[in-house]
Structure formats: C-alpha cells, structure tokens
Amino acid sequence: MLLVRGIFPFLKSKIFAVFQLLMCFYQGMHVF
C-alpha cells in the first residue's frame, strides 16, 4: 500500500507533464 501511495503522485505528475507537452505541441501546430 505504501509503495502505491509513493508511485501514484509520480505517475500523476508524469501524465500531467505529457499532457502539458501535448497541449503545447497542439497550440504550436495550430499557429502554423
């Protein structure tokens, strides 16, 4: 249980970083 509690925030931040990168890429493509 402790392991899951430690991994979950890491996964959440990782997914958020990927989502932010995708949004940035999408906005860049929208400009061109």
Distance in angstroms (rounded) separating the CA atoms of residues 28 and 25:
5
Residue 14 has a pLDDT of: 95
The whole model's pTM is what?
Answer: 0.56
Residue 22 has a pLDDT of: 94
Residue 4 has a pLDDT of: 73
Q: Residues for the chain: how many in total?
A: 32
Helix/strand/coil for 32? coil
Q: Where are the domains of the chain?
A: 1-31
CA-based R_g, the chain, Å: 14
Residue 12 has a pLDDT of: 92
pLDDT in tens, 1-32: 567 788 888 899 999 999 999 999 988 887 65
Residue 6 has a pLDDT of: 81
Residue 1 has a pLDDT of: 57
